[in-house]
Amino acid sequence: MDIHQATGHTLERICSDPELEAAWLATVARLEYMGARKIFRTVAARYPSPDVLEHLAHEVGHAHIFSALAAERGATSALDETSGVVWFQAVDQAVERTVDTCTLPADQKLTLKYLGTTALIERRAMSVYPLFRARTQDAGVRDALDRVIREEAAHRRPIEQEAMRRWTDAGLSFEALFALEERAFAQWLAALMAASAPRIPCAETATAPSA
Ligand SMILES: [Fe+2]
Ligand SMILES: [Fe+2]
């Protein structure tokens, strides 16, 4: 099973249970917020350009959309948020290490880090969201995903193209990072599958004689 099929399979399971789906929405909200925080900490640490502000507005908006959907559906916790954070940080730290191998001024490195992390994370998001949209039975979630996918598509291409151009100019390559991201994401998927496994009644309850 390739990563695309494994993603679809995991989402199929999550979307089969409204409680799990609500918890997954809370997880997605937190990851979107991590994306926004990455922008605040890098290219928006000082007053940013209109393009950066638009990207920031989109990501904060996505965190809000998913957070509100989760709350409306009664989510009490996120679904295996920890592994999601591990995936994001693995990518972010690998990007940092790669950019720190070059000898550019600090502000240019910050831009390369923002572009690198964004390109990798958003590429994954845009493979997950359409699969999520295809599997959810919840019309409100489908409508929200339509908006999120539209906005992600609007900022992803220009950012990815700029990332490729500026990384190449700096003598850096994404090759190893794509593979690293996929490995980290596969681990998150495995953790999500385990966290959303069907709940089997314990033997005692199942075999307890009726009174
Ligand atoms: Fe987003
Ligand atoms: Fe995005």
Q: How far is the CA of 54 from the centre of ligand 1 (A)?
A: 12
Model's pTM, two decimal places? 0.90
Q: How far is the CA of 205 from the centre of ligand 1 (A)?
A: 43
Let me know the angle formed at the C-alpha of 205 by 204 and 208, rounded to the nearest 5 degrees: 80
Give domain 8-196's CATH architecture. Answer: Up-down Bundle (1.20)
Local confidence band at 203 (pLDDT 50, 70, 90 cut-offs): low
Q: Are 90 and 184 in contact (CB under 8 A)?
A: yes
Q: Which ligand is nearest to the CA of 62?
A: 1
Local confidence band at 1 (pLDDT 50, 70, 90 cut-offs): confident
Q: How far is the CA of 159 from the centre of ligand 1 (A)?
A: 13
Using alpha carbons, select from 151, 185, 130, 153 the residue that is nearest to residue 65: 151
Residue range 11-37: mean pLDDT, rounded: 95
Q: How far is the CA of 63 from the centre of ligand 1 (A)?
A: 7
Q: How far is the CA of 37 from the centre of ligand 1 (A)?
A: 12
